[in-house]
Amino acid sequence: MTEKQVLTPGPDHPITVTPSQQHVTVAFGDRVIASTDEALVLQESTYPPVFYLPLDAVEADALQPTSHETYCPYKGDASYYSLTDGETVVENAVWSYVTPYAPVAEIAGHVAFYPNQVEITAS
């Protein structure tokens, strides 16, 4: 078995996690499936910022756990959820780091959404 590479954020690849100063809502189709004042903003290197919302801010019936997994050497193992509205299912549209690495430990218990699958509004 190959050891997973673990990298630490630094000047060449900075990562910050900060509380959002905005109220964040996520809509899937015509339905708001998440709404919170407790979102976090993860800014990684030159990538666009990503909102991480507390899992308990998301309507539980909108999420279906999947077996899909990915790995980030800076954040750890990601697990995924599909989105569903009862008729439509969008596979692996939501991800979570259940036990993220220490530099991003704040995102534990939070989920992020692919912005091309939902409408994310911050106000």
Q: Which option is the CATH number for 15-122: 2.60.40.150, 2.40.50.140, 2.170.150.40, 3.40.718.10?
A: 2.170.150.40
Specify the pLDDT at position 2.
75
Structure pTM?
0.95
Domain ranges within the chain, ordered by starting residue = 15-122
Dihedral sign computed on CA atoms, order 89, 90, 91, 92: negative
pLDDT digits (tens, 9 = 90+) for 13-45: 999 999 999 999 999 999 999 999 999 999 999
Specify the pLDDT at position 69.
98
Q: What is the mean pLDDT of residues 9-13?
A: 96
pLDDT digits (tens, 9 = 90+) for 54-95: 999 999 999 999 999 999 999 999 999 999 998 899 999 999
- Judge contact between 66 and 81, C-beta under 8 A: yes
